[in-house]
């Protein structure tokens, strides 16, 4: 057998199917898998082959599709009416150069692996056709591979056109082909729709190849998930779980300890150092970084966060666009909103919300507080229920809390305001002026109004006759 073809590669991705069974107004190939569109996964795999051209055949939602991939160098082809896979390829033919070798992929088969495609390319010469097939337990609905006694591929028969014997075959067509553009063009021109579905079947090109004595070379994928197509939400969920498990597997290989890799979701990228522990049901979105020895408790959500060494995030915390310094302790039930910048050894406790605020080293906000638009120094202690009133209804104002300030419970700081170094604020204070350093400041201390005041008592029920 000769070497692989030296022709430049054209990847042709079919994505014109309507996706009716998704029951959604979103184009099928834009549904997310690991937070990226199905089609994105196919394009990423295709790009590893350094193709000269990538063509996507679409049928619906052309604008949404092109907008989702406007950074990619893609030739978009509109298949006006969906008359079958052969017709989809036909619509792309005018854009395919004769000297190219064409690899046909599907926009709704997202997990096709680069290694499998590379193997297909390596095994397919200029004069042969490459075909990815698989042996499956339940071939229902799929095209079957018909071979002769010498095990050479003769043709593909669709389920609806197959007789009983053919339907018993478990080797199926994945739909992924590799062949020279000139051959493809010649064979597509010969297609008819004289079949059970009155569609133009791409699969008929196999028998045209055989008629011209072109050998059809088959290879198998490494894993059946690679060739799984998405038609409905159930299949989407199934593949999502598989994909997440693969990501978890990679992270565990890199040293992460997981309480349960089946209850882990990564929707983006996760950079980790040694000895990270991740408890169940945490979701990582966007780009997150976890330093050495970080501990992520159950049910946490992290979106674009950077955690230093030894950071502990306790259960049910929500962190977004936050930076957390080494050995800090967050949660349970804490919320870090965008712009939260925490120094080392900070403590953020339950029902505390931090937004656009810098919290200095060793400062503690342990209970029920809102700290927004704030610059806080080191070793500050914020009592329960303290609120920075940063919003006057029109504009946001800044609060500055200098080092070693101690704020009593239920304090409102009406911004703009500065609390001087080492100040102590008595519980229940509402302050709208700068607070002096190293002094006790407090407001609203109530004095008894009169000494003969009595607490109201319940009336006794009236007795009869009175
Ligand atoms: C096709 C194959 C079948 C194979 C199966 C694998 C044909 C005739 N049959 O089945 O042998 O086992 O895939 O999943 O090729 N598409 C278009 N335009 C169309 C029709 C389809 O772009 O007019 C696209 C779809 O978006 C999808 C792909 O082609 O990505 C396959 O279409 P689908 O209807 O799912 O497959 P079948 O034709 O049933
Ligand atoms: Ca079909």
Ligand nearest to C-alpha 90: 1
Ligand 1 closest atom vs CA 83? 23
Q: Kindly state which CATH superfamily the domain 235-441 is placed in.
A: Hexapeptide repeat proteins (2.160.10.10)
Q: Within the chain, which residue ranges are assigned CATH 2.160.10.10?
A: 235-441
Ligand nearest to C-alpha 145: 1
Q: Is the pLDDT of residue 1 over 50?
A: no
Ligand 1 centre distance from Cα of residue 199 (Å): 10
Q: Is the pLDDT of residue 464 over 80?
A: no
Annotated active-site residue in 367, 406, 444, 459: 367
Ligand 1 closest atom vs CA 199? 8
Q: Which residues contact 187 (CB under 8 A, 6 or more apart)?
A: 204, 205, 208, 209
Whole-number pLDDT of residue 385: 98
59 annotated as ligand-binding? no
422 annotated as ligand-binding? no
148 annotated as ligand-binding? no
367 is known as an active-site residue: yes
Q: Within the chain, which residue ranges are assigned CATH 3.90.550.10?
A: 9-227
Q: Is the pLDDT of residue 466 over 60?
A: no
- Lining ligand 1 with CB less than 6 A are 14-17, 57, 79, 82-85, 87-88, 106-108, 142-143, 156, 158, 172-175, 201-203, 229
Which range among 344-348, 388-392, 407-411, 455-459 shows the weakest confidence by mean pLDDT?
455-459
Q: Binning pLDDT at 50, 70 and 90, where does residue 447 land? A: low
370 annotated as ligand-binding? yes
Whole-number pLDDT of residue 461: 74
pTM summary value: 0.91
The arrangement of secondary structure in 9-227, i.e. its CATH architecture, is: Alpha-Beta Complex (3.90)
Tell me the average pLDDT of the chain. Answer: 96
Nearest CA to ligand 1 atom 19: 84
Neighbours of 302 (CB within 10 A): 26
Ligand 1 closest atom vs CA 231? 35
């Amino acid at each position: 057998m000769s070497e692989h073809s030296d022709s430049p590669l054209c990847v042709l991705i079919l994505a014109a199917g309507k996706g009716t069974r998704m029951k959604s107004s979103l184009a099928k190939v834009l549904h997310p898998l690991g937070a990226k569109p199905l089609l994105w996964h196919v394009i990423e795999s295709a790009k590893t082959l350094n193709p000269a051209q990538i063509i996507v055949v679409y049928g619906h939602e052309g604008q949404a599709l092109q907008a989702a991939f406007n950074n990619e160098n893609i030739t978009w082809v509109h298949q006006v009416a969906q008359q079958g896979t052969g017709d989809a390829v036909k619509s792309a033919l005018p854009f395919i150069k004769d000297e190219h070798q064409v690899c046909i992929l599907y926009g709704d088969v997202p997990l096709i692996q680069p290694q499998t495609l590379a193997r297909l390319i390596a095994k397919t010469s200029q004069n042969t056709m490459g075909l990815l097939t698989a042996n499956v337990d339940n071939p229902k609905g799929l095209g079957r591979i018909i071979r002769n006694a010498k095990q050479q591929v003769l043709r593909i028969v669709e389920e609806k056109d197959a007789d009983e014997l053919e339907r018993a075959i478990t080797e199926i067509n994945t739909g992924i082909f590799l062949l020279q553009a000139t051959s493809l063009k010649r064979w597509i021109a010969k297609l008819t729709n004289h079949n059970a579905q009155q569609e133009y079947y791409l699969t008929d090109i196999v028998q045209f190849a055989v008629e011209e004595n072109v050998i059809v070379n088959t290879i198998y994928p490494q894993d059946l998930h690679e060739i799984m197509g998405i038609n409905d939400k159930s299949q989407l969920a199934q593949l999502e779980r598989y994909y997440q498990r693969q990501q978890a597997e990679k992270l565990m290989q890199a040293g992460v300890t997981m309480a349960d890799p089946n209850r882990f979701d990564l929707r983006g990228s996760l950079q980790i150092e040694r000895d990270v522990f991740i408890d169940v049901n945490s979701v990582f979105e966007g780009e997150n970084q976890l330093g050495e020895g970080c501990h992520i408790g159950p049910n946490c959500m992290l979106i674009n966060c950077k955690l230093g060494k030894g950071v502990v995030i306790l259960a049910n915390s929500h962190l977004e666009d936050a930076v957390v310094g080494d050995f800090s302790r967050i949660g349970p039930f804490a919320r870090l909103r965008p712009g939260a910048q925490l120094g080392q050894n900070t403590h953020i406790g339950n029902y505390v919300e931090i937004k656009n605020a810098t919290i200095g080293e060793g400062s503690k906000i342990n209970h029920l507080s809102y700290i927004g638009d704030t610059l806080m120094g080191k070793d500050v202690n914020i009592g329960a229920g303290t609120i920075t009133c940063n919003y006057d209804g029109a504009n946001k104002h800044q609060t500055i809390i200098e080092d070693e300030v101690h704020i009593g419970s239920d304090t409102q700081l009406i911004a703009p305001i500065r609390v001087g170094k080492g100040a102590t604020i008595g519980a229940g204070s509402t302050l709208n002026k700068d607070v002096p350093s190293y002094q006790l400041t407090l407001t609203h201390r109530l004095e008894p109004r009169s000494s003969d005041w009595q607490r109201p008592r319940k009336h006794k029920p009236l007795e009869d006759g009175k």
